[in-house]
Structure 1
């Protein structure tokens, strides 16, 4: 409990930059490897990702040595990026902006979709139309009840959304023939409410060059981080969090 309190105290200094670490602590899936005044190092047992938010000190660099099965690392400061890449052969890098919905109240919006957990047939459709993470990861997310599909009033499946294994909103896709109807916005608003009801932090991570997704987050009123965050991996295909390209921002 002492380490938990230390971790929360440090991470709460910059909630927007540290929301991913706070999320895994909040849902009790984090193994706290270090929690001191100069930083926090976690291992998330759901996504199998190491997560670091820390100051640039010699002690922090020392504690990063000798980590087991280190193929996925989330870092909030670029001073550690090259060091970790070299230390663990993490050649792939994804740079993201973070967005968080700070209001604790349920979002009120026009509901034009029937949004529900996917059937087995729905899952087949999702797998055929979403290749940013593996089918196995999609199944795991669905087992955790963190995947949803949207149907319009004509009973057409128009798209889907979910929560990545490390706890951020994502997996948002609207099929081409149904775009520009506001469905992306509605699916994300639904997901924000789902997070609030579950007592989780509604946040997402958007690749820095994904302008359409960035516009959508701003439109929905999510607060944007000034700092970027980094996902490091030896192979992004095994990464449990890959920011989606949102093709509809209406």
Structure 2
């Protein structure tokens, strides 16, 4: 939420002692962190957004009342709070093009929206690691600014390519004056291990994503 405000992509609906509610314009995400549900009840403008990020479990429960959300995720936040990026492994990393759209879509099982992949690639927000001219892995920056969509193709795993891709994006994010951050699905131990290896700070609290 702070990064959305810093980037100038946040429309703030509420900001008082009891919490903050904002709309992140690029992704049309409603992000909520409040101490009392009554704050949400007083804001009919919460509307019907494509996705919600609730930082309290009871807020997530409130949002789902009377609504149907086909997809939901419980995640922890990870942020890189150091001034210098982690030491990057040498690798051929460059922006993806439409030539890689199908490979990315079919390789990343957690994503079922090819239009979203296409949009990120067209915006220059996805990068691939190439080995001998072939795509070995990829990473992206979601519309709201988080790092994600990290995948190493099966035949290239175990070679440090995931570390190389994320350290690359951490460095790129720091260079533009932003804080690199990502979200890890609860129970994804390999991803958590990678974030710790990279020096990311892991939140104790959870965030609850709800997708229309």
TM-score, length-scaled by structure 2: 0.92
1:41 to 21, 25, 35: 21
Please give the alpha-carbon distance, in whole angstroms, between the structure 1 residues aligned to 2:45 and 2:14.
Answer: 14
Residues 116-155 of structure 1 deviation map (CA, whole Å, 9 limit, x = unaligned): 0013322332233234141211122123321101112x22
2:169 matched to which residue of 1? 191
Residues 207-243 of structure 1 deviation map (CA, whole Å, 9 limit, x = unaligned): 1111111111111111110101110123xxxxxxxxx
2:115 matched to which residue of 1? 136
Q: Judging changes above 3 Å, is the alpha-carbon distance between structure 1 residues 233 and 128 closer, same or farther for their aligned structure 2 residues?
A: closer
Residues 3-44 of structure 1 deviation map (CA, whole Å, 9 limit, x = unaligned): xxxxxxxxxxxxxxxxxx112112211111111121111111
Please state whether the residue corresponding to 1:227 is helix, strand or coil. strand
Moved over 6 A (4+): none
Please give the alpha-carbon distance, in whole angstroms, between the structure 2 residues aligned to 1:118 and 1:192.
Answer: 17
Pairwise mapping of residues 1-250 of structure 1 onto structure 2 (< 5 A)? 21-56=1-36, 58=38, 60-90=39-69, 92-111=71-90, 113-131=91-109, 132-152=111-131, 154-234=132-212
Q: Gaps (5+ residues) in structure 1?
A: 1-20, 235-250
Q: Structure 1 residues 89-98 or 77-86, which shifts more?
A: 89-98
Residue 87 of structure 1: CA displacement? 4.7
Q: Structure 1 residues 174-183 or 123-132, which shifts more?
A: 123-132
Please state whether the residue corresponding to 1:181 is helix, strand or coil. coil
Please give the alpha-carbon distance, in whole angstroms, between the structure 1 residues aligned to 2:112 and 2:128.
Answer: 17
Q: Is the 8 A contact 1:44 1:50 kept in 2?
A: yes
Q: Is the 8 A contact 2:30 2:46 kept in 1?
A: no
Please state whether the residue corresponding to 1:34 is helix, strand or coil. strand
How many residues align? The count is 211
Q: Judging changes above 3 Å, is the alpha-carbon distance between structure 1 residues 87 and 24 closer, same or farther for their aligned structure 2 residues?
A: farther
TM-score, length-scaled by structure 1: 0.79
Report the RMSD for the aligned CA atoms in angstroms. Answer: 1.7
Q: Judging changes above 3 Å, is the alpha-carbon distance between structure 1 residues 78 and 194 closer, same or farther for their aligned structure 2 residues?
A: same
Q: Gaps (5+ residues) in structure 2?
A: none
Q: Is the 8 A contact 1:53 1:75 kept in 2?
A: yes
- Which structure shows the bigger proportion of residues in strand conformation? 2
Please give the alpha-carbon distance, in whole angstroms, between the structure 2 residues aligned to 1:109 and 1:207.
Answer: 24
